[in-house]
Amino acid sequence: MLLPETALDSRPERMSEASARKTPVRMTTATLDQSNVSRSAAEIAEQSKKVVTRDVDFFYGAKQALYKVSLDVPEHCVTALIGPSGCGKSTFLRCLNRMNDMIDDTTVRGEILLDGKNVYRRGTDVVELRKRVGMVFQKSNPFPKSIYENVAYGPRVAGVRKRNILDEIVEKSLRQSALWDEVQDRLYDSALQLSGGQQQRLCIARALATNPDVLLMDEPASALDPKSTAAVEDLIFGLKKSYTIAIVTHNMQQAARVSDQTAFFYEGHLIEVGATNELFTNPYEKQTEDYITGRFG
């Protein structure tokens, strides 16, 4: 296991040799290079670290799910967490906004710093934390209420009462999630009438409405058809200007398409982390290479 800095430093010199070896991955990178919007290792290094984790262990009862995970999530970047099922990437994601608190008999050790403050320190206001660290789930889970009420829920529970302010937030959030044009004339219809892809974008809008700093996404497109997936991916790409995003995905093409930095988890360990285009072309670890080339997982 490597610390991110060393992983980044040692990579460039091995680049040519590795990309010559692994054809399928190079194809992915080619599209990335064309789009030319993914951040390079150097650019990522320049970003301040929004979330820093140090030696995070996580237990479900006696079963350890994470082992000494130390990962930095740079600001205004998309960090993809990849790895086979059960590798701990979702567990890790859910540590960042303490959603794991909802599961009984879990233990966290180590430090998770958001803007330098440990989110697991005594006296942390979890409610406040979750307003700053929003989350989008794998299965779209709109409330059985109107589209408007879904988006307005976050601000409402935060105490926003004024109708005109709520209206403003709802419109802004729906615009950000590229849903406004589709729903603006039926804001008061049930959210459950929307299609799966629209529901997921509504969930993203709902998460944006609380104006979070960080957006966590747990396989946000895995239940969607390719067209909706593309819409959600475009959205994620656009959102990183204003938010810091961490996304769990099973789809490596997706990780390659949307993320700046990729972290590979395996059996609870963070195996490798680095700039996406470098990790995919020139993985440092054998396990990473096997996984991204499809030899297992």
Write the DSSP symbol of residue 39. Answer: P
Closest CB to other proteins among residues 46, 128? 128
Query: At 6, which helix (H) or strand (E)?
Result: helix 4-9
Q: How far apart are CA 171 and CA 43, in angstroms?
A: 32
Q: Over the Cα atoms of the chain, what is R_g?
A: 19
Strands 49-60 and 63-69: antiparallel
**Between the CA of residue 222 and those of 121, 138, 150, 255, what are the distances in Å?**
33, 7, 22, 12
> Rule CB under 8 A: is residue 217 a binding residue for other proteins?
no
> Rule CB under 8 A: is residue 139 a binding residue for other proteins?
yes
Mutual angle of helices 196-208 and 147-157, in 10-degree steps? 20
Closest CB to other proteins among residues 203, 252? 203
Cα angle 34-180-242, degrees, rounded to a multiple of 5:
50
> Rule CB under 8 A: is residue 143 a binding residue for other proteins?
yes
Closest CB to other proteins among residues 41, 183? 183
What is the total count of residues that contact other proteins (CB under 8 A)?
28
Closest CB to other proteins among residues 101, 171? 101
> Rule CB under 8 A: is residue 62 a binding residue for other proteins?
no
What is the smallest separation between the CB atom of 86 and other proteins, expressed in angstroms? 19
Among 38, 53, 91, 97, binds other proteins (CB under 8 A): 97
* Only segment of 12-20, 152-160, 220-228, 283-291 that touches other proteins (CB under 8 A): 152-160
What is the smallest separation between the CB atom of 78 and other proteins, expressed in angstroms? 19
* Only segment of 57-65, 156-164, 169-177, 260-268 that touches other proteins (CB under 8 A): 156-164
Write the DSSP symbol of residue 192. Answer: G
